[in-house]
Structure 1
Amino acid sequence: MPLTLDTDEVQPPAALITAPLPARGRKRAAGGLGGGKLLPGAKVSRVLDLPQEKLIKSISAIAVSKKRAAVGFQLFVGSVVENGRELSSHDLQAQTQRLLDQLKCDAVVSEINGGRGIVNFKINQELLAKTVVQQVSKDGSEYGFKSELLSSLPRGKMLVEFSSPNVAKRFHVGHLRSTIIGNFIANLMEALGNEVTRLNYLGDWGMQFGLLGAGFQQFGCEEKLKTNPLQHLFEVYVQVNRVAEKDESVQKAAQEFLRRLEGGDPQALSMWQHFRALSIEEYDRVYKRLGVYFDEYSGESFFQDKSQDILKLLESKGLLLKSVKGTGVVDLSEKGDSSSYATVVRSDGTSLYITRDLAAAVDRMEKYHCERMIYVTDKSQENHFQHLFQILRIMGYSWAECCRHVPFGLVQGMKTRRGDVLFLEDVLDEARTRMLENMASAKTTKALDDPHDTAEKVGLAALIIQDFRGPLLSDYRFDWDWALQSRGDTGVFLQYTHARLHSLEEMCSSETSCDFNPACLQDPQALSILQHLLRYDEVLCKSCEDLQPKHIVNYLLTLSHLASVAHQALPVKGSAAEVAQARLQLFKTVRSVLASGMALLGIKPVRKM
């Protein structure tokens, strides 16, 4: 837990000290609530004969629950046994009792108890309140990330490839998940201290573009292209696909256009460049609405020539084989019996998606020297990335072990009032429209300078939270009515809570002072919030390790519910000055953590709604 109790009134007790950090983590984790974990350091270390740093991940803040109002930490004795040696139930209890007998209470720890392999430490509640509130105020958006718990996580250069729509097509709703998930991962890794490159790898090559090129020559209209470029290109693509299903000559025309394109034909290249530029211009407008940006736009087209270098390298290493169909394949079977292989070149010599991905991966490593490379795509591409990483390893690239695919499931049932939707902007427009209607009908809605902007931000929060609540790999059914509820576990509720707390701060701005009496924050509702805030670094650590946003989402929703209860039970206005000031500081602390957590998820907190 991010807790270092450092006060003028209390000297650090001998039994409870902050464990020293590894050298690489000292700078980020220096001092304070965010800088260390309250550990039963010296004595526990001696009793278990372990270095203190091994205890960091074995002690956690007790989770807030309706049944348990404990304030403090738990040490899991079984997880700190040296060399992972398993203990029998009897030995585990003996070790636990040994700790209980030797650890004593002091000015920081008011009570020690335990059993069944767990030692509980109840913390001095006034000291807890003072330390938590002051540390959140000091660290701001970095709160939690300075914890020793996160100090051992790897940091360095990282590339995140996400969104990756197909050129010359309107932004499909299917790319929403890749976009917001990739944005979350990039935000989280940057906050952890990584140097992150956000890359959009456009689908701007291959047979789909061959079809579009051939189709535009037959069905395209320059006037319509000027008026609504991507809508017209989409209509052309649908039309040519429909015709190609029945007319083999259209398929041949598409293959011929692709060959011309790959051969550098000026007319084909000019058409491709024009469609690509129009697409990026349109995508940038949508990304702006989502609050997403990219450091680099790349695409399959960039690696057409370099993919030939990959094929030559595979051939020189004896890895490129010819199949009976004349295609080029790489044998991925362990025994070399061709029971499993990946196709890397067509029989006519044109490249494939995986060939260009191989070239792109090699090029990125040479350019960015990343410690990690993350690909965010739907789960249907899991097999593709398994083959990609395996071929890279076979080619001798040891850094392939640092490549990771983050797959996600599909969204089902996403409809507007006009019916099923294909395009992301239709969903964003629908979310904004419905939120405007809800805000107009709500009695508590404030007068807003820009209601459309507020509705846009709240509507996007609704989309993101419904998407992020469960495991990314799971499919889920989208539900507008549920997503836009203001009182459920929704993005609207998070935005409402943030706006409510911000209004409270504005209303009580004359009473604002950093000084407060922690004795005034001993109500059960206040202690529950403080205890929950202790767990923030644990939640961040989980998300950094598995790249799942659900941990942060569920944490923020619980924090919002605790704040809602406390807002009713602990009024600021009308309370004695000392009590009001302490409560105001508590609510400012909640709003600060709520805002920084929402920002990680890609949500812009609103101040009024």
Structure 2
Amino acid sequence: MACLFRRSIAAQLSKVLGTSTEKLIPMVSAVPVSKKQQTLDFRISVNSVLEKGCLRSGSTVQSQARQLSEQLTCDDVVTEIAVGQGTINFKVNRSLLAELVMQEISKKGSKYGIESELFQGYPCGRVIVEFSSPNIAKKFHAGHLRSTIIGNFIANIKQALGNDVIRINYLGDWGTQFGLLGAGFQLFGSEVKLKANPLQHLFEVYVEVNKMAETNEDIHKAGQEFFKKLEGGDEHSLRLWQQFRSISIEEYKKIYQRLGVHFDEYSGESFYQEKTQEILWLLDQKGLLKKTMQGTGVVDLSPNGDLSAYAKVLRPDGTTLYLTRDIAAAIDRMEKYNFDQMIYVTDKEQCSHFQQLFGVLKIMGYNWTERAFTGHFCRCRHVPFGLVKGMKTRKGDVVFLEDVMNEARSRMLQNMAASKTTKELEDPEGTAEKVGVAALIIQDFKGPLLSDYEFDWDRVLQSHGDTGVFLQYTHARLCSLQRTFENRIEEQFNPACLQDPQAIALLQHLLRYDEVLFQVSEDLQPKHLVNYLIMLSRLASIAHRTLHVKGSLSEVAMARYLLFKGTASVLSNGMKLLGITPVEKM
């Protein structure tokens, strides 16, 4: 596979440069396939060789590339060497290319691309991913879709790489906003409505009580009083809170099931209420807890100790804050799980919150917040993301995730019914759901996570173009082709039958899969994998139109069938990492 080719090229370079083969292997990269089909397969940048100290600087990069290429020779693996713009490019033995790629995909299955030399020595350990984290007693807002699917993707990739992953849903189940809801429910809540439509009724109560609190100081005070009772352990208040919490989790689980997401632990701010008192005591003992003129408890994070930058940890009335509970949660998780890395997935508006969180933990003496895996990764890391604009349903402006998912499924069912190519399906609603979820995920993952993006229903659900529908459609077509040949005995594979330009382009792209996964593992940006899978689907569609299986000579048909089968396998594996359930018919 790619490893053999990289190693062979690196070994040649090693002899010329006097540098170890192992050091050079990561510098050899597969050439991306574009619509203009490539003839060369691998390249090495002269700049990267210079940066790693494998080549002395002197003449221009281009002349050094030329000089270096002249010292390299073709062999059984490398059939052509050419100089590019600051690069040396290599073409590998085409027959060997087909043989090794097909062999590796067949042999490694879901581990293809992961069991690669690029991941040799890759640090693994226990990784906590905290994501989704909606506020209880509220319907799942569409804004939580991003945290849910991004967190799920990060957990998937970390797990695939061999980490012990713990998925935590840290519910917003404490704080003054819940005090206001509790007070509102006591005033005009209905047990009958709560039983009939739990989260909808709680949402209505929350909206109404907030509206009243804006003009009625007594309502505002009632909310504060309810929360103080909660923190004080009042039995009635706690019972009501527990009821709302249980209802919320049960409702959320239905949404998570539809998204194909699961959690190992449902935690929440409430879990750390008692622990916050220990944190405040500890801060006080260390001389880190200061008081402002208004009586707010703060931790000084300014380099000069002049309170020019500080984190609030205690309100003047003695109640704790979200940050205080997050400090307690981080310390508790380290004691409980002894994690190697903890990743928080929230929107970019919380960047300053996490800077404060990591800053307070560090000043308290918890140096484990900074480096882990022998300095390879930050031990505590915040992965921020931008906002989604325009995600409105036909029902109006208040956007709940359930409505968005229903809308995606409904529109997908209409599109499938109108399409001439739609197959007879046992479960059309289930298929439409999977395709609709794929459409939402791909739309979300196409760009950098930090970017805001405009949601467009018509573009999201197109069957052609850079969409989740296109990926699902391509996978279903490849599965259909496999079903045609499923009863046929697989003959010996002849790599000479995969020398057409369309087959070579597909093989070259399959060759790059491990590099894409490596890049994703480094920066946790799903766009790399999305772009790879879209190009894979395009190349598969072109090959499917030109490399006919049916009607070809037996040996040629078998080779093409195996190529399409391998492509479907890689497409399926990549989609699963993104959190998409591939469909086999649509």
Q: 1:267 to 1:278 in 2, by over 3 A?
A: same
Match of 2:474 in 1: 497
Q: Cα offset for 1:89?
A: 6.7
Match of 2:14 in 1: 45
TM (norm. structure 1) is: 0.93
Match of 1:233 in 2: 202
Q: Cα offset for 1:510?
A: 3.2
SS in 2 for 1:510: coil
SS in 2 for 1:159: strand
Q: Trace 1:106-505 onto structure 2 (pairs within 5 A).
A: 106-401=75-370, 402-505=379-482
SS in 1 for 2:399: coil
Q: 1:83 to 1:418 in 2, by over 3 A?
A: closer
Match of 1:563 in 2: 540
2:37·2:505 contact (CA, 8 Å) conserved in 1? no
Say yes or no: does 1:527 pair with 2:496: no
Q: Cα offset for 1:78?
A: 2.4
SS in 2 for 1:513: coil
Match of 1:572 in 2: 549
Deviations 1:317-348 (A, max 9, x none): 11110001100001111111111111110011
2:318 partner amino acid: G
Q: Cα offset for 1:516?
A: 1.4
Distance (whole Å) between structure 1 residues aligned to residue 39 and residue 341 of structure 2: 40
1:204 partner amino acid: D
Q: Cα offset for 1:389?
A: 0.5
Percent identity between the two aligned chains: 64
Match of 2:515 in 1: 538
1:234 partner amino acid: F
Distance (whole Å) between structure 2 residues aligned to residue 520 and residue 161 of structure 1: 49
Q: Cα offset for 1:391?
A: 0.6
SS in 2 for 1:404: strand
1:221 partner amino acid: S
1:592 partner amino acid: S
Deviations 1:224-251 (A, max 9, x none): 1111111111100001000000001111
Distance (whole Å) between structure 2 residues aligned to residue 418 and residue 512 of structure 1: 53
Match of 2:374 in 1: none
Gap runs ≥5 in structure 1: 6-36
Distance (whole Å) between structure 2 residues aligned to residue 166 and residue 470 of structure 1: 27
2:408·2:433 contact (CA, 8 Å) conserved in 1? yes
Q: Cα offset for 1:115?
A: 4.5
Match of 1:4 in 2: 4
Distance (whole Å) between structure 1 residues aligned to residue 96 and residue 491 of structure 2: 16
Deviations 1:445-469 (A, max 9, x none): 0000000000000000000000000
Q: Cα offset for 1:188?
A: 0.4
Distance (whole Å) between structure 1 residues aligned to residue 2 and residue 348 of structure 2: 35
Q: Cα offset for 1:82?
A: 6.6
Distance (whole Å) between structure 2 residues aligned to residue 467 and residue 228 of structure 1: 30
Distance (whole Å) between structure 2 residues aligned to residue 599 and residue 89 of structure 1: 48
Match of 2:376 in 1: none
Q: Cα offset for 1:199?
A: 0.2
Distance (whole Å) between structure 1 residues aligned to residue 416 and residue 77 of structure 2: 47
SS in 2 for 1:405: strand
Match of 2:558 in 1: 581
Q: Cα offset for 1:40?
A: 1.9
Distance (whole Å) between structure 2 residues aligned to residue 143 and residue 194 of structure 1: 17
1:302 partner amino acid: F
1:47·1:98 contact (CA, 8 Å) conserved in 2? no
Match of 1:608 in 2: 585
1:458·1:491 contact (CA, 8 Å) conserved in 2? yes
1:71·1:527 contact (CA, 8 Å) conserved in 2? no
2:554 partner amino acid: A
1:486·1:496 contact (CA, 8 Å) conserved in 2? yes
2:130·2:344 contact (CA, 8 Å) conserved in 1? yes
Q: 1:351 to 1:86 in 2, by over 3 A?
A: farther
Say yes or no: does 1:101 pair with 2:70: yes
Q: Cα offset for 1:579?
A: 0.8
1:3·1:534 contact (CA, 8 Å) conserved in 2? no
1:332·1:391 contact (CA, 8 Å) conserved in 2? yes
SS in 1 for 2:2: coil
Distance (whole Å) between structure 2 residues aligned to residue 472 and residue 607 of structure 1: 29
1:71·1:125 contact (CA, 8 Å) conserved in 2? no
Q: Cα offset for 1:105?
A: 1.1
1:148 partner amino acid: E
Q: Cα offset for 1:113?
A: 1.8
Q: 1:233 to 1:536 in 2, by over 3 A?
A: same
Distance (whole Å) between structure 1 residues aligned to residue 55 and residue 539 of structure 2: 38
RMSD value, Cα: 1.5
Q: 1:551 aligns with which of 528, 537, 540?
A: 528
Distance (whole Å) between structure 2 residues aligned to residue 514 and residue 163 of structure 1: 48
Deviations 1:131-187 (A, max 9, x none): 101101111111101111122432111000000010111111111000000000000
Distance (whole Å) between structure 2 residues aligned to residue 521 and residue 393 of structure 1: 57
1:165·1:203 contact (CA, 8 Å) conserved in 2? yes
Gap runs ≥5 in structure 2: 371-378
2:34 partner amino acid: S
Q: 1:217 to 1:340 in 2, by over 3 A?
A: same
SS in 1 for 2:129: strand
Q: Cα offset for 1:66?
A: 3.0
Deviations 1:170-226 (A, max 9, x none): 111111000000000000000011110000000000001100110000010011111
Match of 2:23 in 1: 54
